[in-house]
Structure 1
Amino acid sequence: MTPNVSTPIVSNDIKIAALLAATIASFFTPFMGSSVNIALPSIGLDFGADAIILNWVTNGFLLAAAIFAVPFGRVADIHGMKKIFTYGIILFTVASLLCALSPTAYTLIGSRILQGIGSAMIFVTGLAIISSVYPPHHRGKAIGINVAAVYVGLSFGPVLGGLMTQYLGWRSLFLLMIPFGLLVTAIVFWKLNDEWAASRGEKFDYVGSILYSLMLFLVMYGFSSLPQIDGWAMLILGIVGFVAFIRWELKAKSPVFNVRLFKNTAFTFSSLAALINYSATFAVTLLLSYYLQFIKGLEPQAAGLILVAQPIIMAITAPIAGRMSDRFDARLIATTGMATVTLALFTLTFIDGNTPLNDIIIGLGVLGLGFGLFSSPNTNVIMGSVERRFYGVASATVSTMRLIGQTMSIGIATLVFSLFIGRVQLTPDQYPALLESIQLCFVVFTALCFIGVFVSWWRGEKKDVENGG
């Protein structure tokens, strides 16, 4: 591959506008995803929906976002980052209005799928635009701010979502997205006059896109259905589809996903480290929410206030770590972060009914510190290890690793709960089994992150392609 000589000179106004638009979008899209989870009981009561239907309110969003991330990343490389980002914001905003006005659970699920598609368009382009306008020596700082917004959105969602659902109703969550969407759209049209399309004129790989979408659907849906037989069947079919996808992409002239990027050690191990990190941490909020409300007997608002310890520390740490990764070895910073997350998860394996709340808060604080130290430098390595014409695909990879990791994390928790508790409503008699399930989940997550420490270190030192590294 022939690296670009340098990042084109971009005015400070455009840099600030790009960072502002991408960061606002990076907050409200994951906020939407996580805040809806706490509103599901209220949605179920309004529509008389069962647990399976309610699960699709969340799963439909995650599946759509993951399935469309890579194809839209390639479309953005060919037709323009700003164009796809803008269309994504508009689609997400319109879908939010449709969600708020949904008369049935099924129309809500359909609108959430549209939201997921819009979210995919936003995430694969927002990070790529930031990488396009900021030179390598300043990119880590900008990515750190963007990553902080993602985690703040994911983590604050349950807290603010609970308050809004309790006092304003669940539909207010979707209505809140409309002014955010309009604000970002205004920033794009007002300030972002440039366009970024490093692969303009190349053909789009329709066959590869279809294979990718089917493969990912089978894998994600199958994993979320374990340990049922149909879950295993879909998972096996998904693996077969993955092999077919790789074979096609290797011979395609203009692949939707250039799998040869994985010959790049930094890109491969950084992507794998991100997948492991999300797989080991996304369900932590869910597990501790159950623990605090069922085992400790706290009200939802009180539980939410405790859980906010993590995003506060993370939001402070992520921008600092991103800036540090511009100056020092990003591998060392990210690996230190992964090790810190491992330590925090290990301490949580010992929780029981008598664990002081202060210990939980400290554990969450350490977890937030690890999050912040890992995410920004790791993302900086991914974006810095590819040519500019692959920014859309690299950005899509970051989003896909996050979404697959989130699904796997919830899938692991669901599998453990199914084995220990079964598919029944929780009652006080089952609280001991619930506590055992939570403890086992933390053991599994700790083991995953421990492996992630070595994966993070094996990536090698950060070398920016643009700098000829």
Structure 2
Amino acid sequence: MSISPKKYTLMVAVLTSFLTPFVGSSINIALPSIGNEFTTNAIILGWIPTVYLLSLAVCLVPFGRIADIHGRKRFFTYGIIIFTIASFLATLSFSVQMLMVFRILQGVGCAMIFGNLYAIIASIFPASDRGKALGITITGSFLGMFMGPVLGGFLTEYLGWRSIFFINVPLGVLATVAVTRIEGEWKEAIGEKFDIIGSIILGFSLIMLMYGLSNLPEIWGFYLILGGILGLTIFYLVESRMISPVLDVKIFKNWSFTLYNLAAFISFCSAAPIVFTLSLYLQYIKGLDPQWAGIILSVQPIMMTIFSPLAGKLSDITEPRKVAAFGMILNTMGCTLFAFLGEETGLIIIIIGLSLLGLGFALFSSPNTNAIMNTVESRLYGVASTTVSTMRVLGQMSGMGVVLMVLVLIMGSSTINPQDYPEFVTSARISFLIFAILSFLGALASMAGGNKRD
């Protein structure tokens, strides 16, 4: 029996959306083992997931634009290949610096994947089925987040941290073969010029922002942040006057589109550091091995995997913004609970908090994406897809920046030793309090968005 193009596309979308969150969540479980092997402090460990997010953020918009010109499916395929090669090379790392280089290469590959994934789905599925399709696709991401801590903890415990990268290789090969069987190509901007100047300005601005955040409270950290903000301002002014911009910033005049993207930014700002912080907390403070820490952390993605398809379908029959806003309220509750973490906090409290966050992110993610895609015309699907992916990555990157900043302010550059446990717990509590406040603001942004194209 032949498989319809829509079902085949969903199969590929689920597989590719599984890969990157899997390695992202599994590497967080492996960080203490990596730190022990390379004798690395908590700040450097934080940069292992951060450099990946930074390279992803820098490359998303330019590669999304190049794909609009030369073909989304082509660059989607290139992204899977690069990610697979980088995963294999990461298994050969003999220093933390070498590992970071291959994490950067993974980010480049992921930029090619996620700069095109939602646009391809929006191009194939009509608005009446789009929420359900996005919900199924995002379920693949949540399944990767679920398998990351569980399988990553098992692999780290028994085969070493390098095995979490190697397992991506056969999956990447399978995804590469599968995506070549999708029929069709999409080139909405064929023949247009690529904006190199805008891409360079955006890239340097993001690098200055992230590096500045991680180097607070040093005075030059503030200067870098100001430079990054100035760079983004210049980027907006330059792009608004370009005939063929790398990012059509005029789309942000659509206030519904802008508010929903702001909500996405805030959501992923609070999401990214949760596994990083709690992985260190469970293994250092609670004394759990990687396998058990992974099992506990899997509670959140299990909830996401179960409820994400339901949330996507729900967003097709009711206002997506209301579903997304309720999800952000649950996130606020979960982060608030973790703001009271202590060395004696019971594991049941951790599980309850992760359950709230898992359900919250499930109810937010696909309805938010559906709401964003519904606010633009079909000719802007590529821009909208790139923008929502960029907002999410910028959110994750900024969230890690906040955590690194708090760690530096509270702990300095010391490694996490028993005498430093109280300072680490304090930094975790401060971080979660910040994310609770941001999540509440994200709920307000979701509700403030409209329902129609402006």
TM-score normalised by L of structure 1: 0.91
Contact 2:334 2:357 (8 Å CA) reproduced: yes
| Map of 2:274 onto structure 1 | 284
Give 1:137-216 correspondences, 5 Å limit.
137-190=128-181, 192-216=182-206
| Map of 2:238 onto structure 1 | 248
Matched, 1:60 2:51: yes
Alignment CA distance shift 1:427-1:236 (3 Å)? same
The secondary structure found in structure 1 opposite 2:245 is coil
Q: Read off the aligned partner of 1:149 and give its amino acid letter.
A: G
Q: Measure the CA separation in 2 of the matches of 1:269 and 1:50.
A: 38
Per mean C-alpha deviation after superposition, the further-off stretch among 162-171 and 344-353 is: 344-353
Distance apart, 1:443 and its partner CA? 1.6
Q: How big is each residue's C-alpha offset from its partner over 1:312-352, in whole Å with a ceiling of 9 and x where there is no partner?
A: 11111111101111111101111111111112222222333
Q: Read off the aligned partner of 1:28 and give its amino acid letter.
A: L
Q: Measure the CA separation in 1 of the matches of 2:293 and 2:96.
A: 27
Q: Read off the aligned partner of 1:445 and give its amino acid letter.
A: F
Q: How big is each residue's C-alpha offset from its partner over 1:50-81, in whole Å with a ceiling of 9 and x where there is no partner?
A: 66665544333221111000011111111111
The secondary structure found in structure 1 opposite 2:414 is coil
Q: Measure the CA separation in 2 of the matches of 1:106 and 1:303.
A: 26
| Map of 1:136 onto structure 2 | 127
| Map of 1:113 onto structure 2 | 104
Structure 1, unaligned stretches of length 5 or more?
1-10
Per mean C-alpha deviation after superposition, the further-off stretch among 48-57 and 438-447 is: 48-57
Alignment CA distance shift 1:54-1:453 (3 Å)? closer
Q: How big is each residue's C-alpha offset from its partner over 1:84-127, in whole Å with a ceiling of 9 and x where there is no partner?
A: 10111111112222222345544433222221111100011112
Distance apart, 1:423 and its partner CA? 2.0
| Map of 2:258 onto structure 1 | 268
| Map of 1:386 onto structure 2 | 376
| Map of 1:239 onto structure 2 | 229
Distance apart, 1:14 and its partner CA? 1.3
| Map of 1:295 onto structure 2 | 285
The secondary structure found in structure 1 opposite 2:216 is coil
The secondary structure found in structure 2 opposite 1:282 is helix
Q: Read off the aligned partner of 1:16 and give its amino acid letter.
A: K
| Map of 1:100 onto structure 2 | 91
Alignment CA distance shift 1:330-1:407 (3 Å)? same
Contact 2:13 2:117 (8 Å CA) reproduced: yes
Per mean C-alpha deviation after superposition, the further-off stretch among 389-398 and 102-111 is: 102-111
| Map of 1:34 onto structure 2 | 25
The secondary structure found in structure 2 opposite 1:386 is coil
Distance apart, 1:279 and its partner CA? 1.3
Q: How big is each residue's C-alpha offset from its partner over 1:374-421, in whole Å with a ceiling of 9 and x where there is no partner?
A: 111001111222233322222222222222211222222222222233
Q: Read off the aligned partner of 2:49 and give its amino acid letter.
A: T
Alignment CA distance shift 1:50-1:357 (3 Å)? closer
Give the length in aligned residue pairs: 453
| Map of 1:366 onto structure 2 | 356
Contact 1:224 1:408 (8 Å CA) reproduced: no
Matched, 1:258 2:233: no
Match of 1:357 among 324, 347, 352: 347
Q: How big is each residue's C-alpha offset from its partner over 1:181-213, in whole Å with a ceiling of 9 and x where there is no partner?
A: 1111111223x1211122222221111111111
Per mean C-alpha deviation after superposition, the further-off stretch among 337-346 and 322-331 is: 337-346
Contact 1:70 1:397 (8 Å CA) reproduced: yes
| Map of 1:344 onto structure 2 | 334
Q: Read off the aligned partner of 2:90 and give its amino acid letter.
A: C
Q: Measure the CA separation in 1 of the matches of 2:159 and 2:248.
A: 46
Alignment CA distance shift 1:414-1:48 (3 Å)? closer
Match of 2:114 among 89, 112, 123: 123
| Percent identity of equivalent pairs | 48
Q: Read off the aligned partner of 1:425 and give its amino acid letter.
A: T
Distance apart, 1:141 and its partner CA? 0.6
Matched, 1:444 2:452: no
Matched, 1:23 2:23: no
| Map of 1:223 onto structure 2 | 213
Q: Measure the CA separation in 2 of the matches of 1:370 and 1:48.
A: 36
Alignment CA distance shift 1:60-1:356 (3 Å)? closer
The secondary structure found in structure 2 opposite 1:283 is helix
Q: Read off the aligned partner of 2:242 and give its amino acid letter.
A: A
Q: Measure the CA separation in 2 of the matches of 1:244 and 1:103.
A: 40
Contact 1:224 1:407 (8 Å CA) reproduced: no
Alignment CA distance shift 1:45-1:307 (3 Å)? closer
The secondary structure found in structure 2 opposite 1:360 is helix
Q: Measure the CA separation in 2 of the matches of 1:429 and 1:189.
A: 54
Q: Measure the CA separation in 1 of the matches of 2:51 and 2:422.
A: 32
| Map of 2:67 onto structure 1 | 76
Distance apart, 1:366 and its partner CA? 1.4
Contact 1:269 1:459 (8 Å CA) reproduced: yes
Q: Measure the CA separation in 1 of the matches of 2:55 and 2:271.
A: 21
Alignment CA distance shift 1:145-1:252 (3 Å)? same
Alignment CA distance shift 1:185-1:102 (3 Å)? same
Contact 1:124 1:393 (8 Å CA) reproduced: no
Match of 2:80 among 89, 103, 109: 89
Structure 2, unaligned stretches of length 5 or more?
none
The secondary structure found in structure 2 opposite 1:297 is coil
The secondary structure found in structure 1 opposite 2:240 is helix
Q: Measure the CA separation in 2 of the matches of 1:224 and 1:150.
A: 27
Q: Read off the aligned partner of 1:360 and give its amino acid letter.
A: I
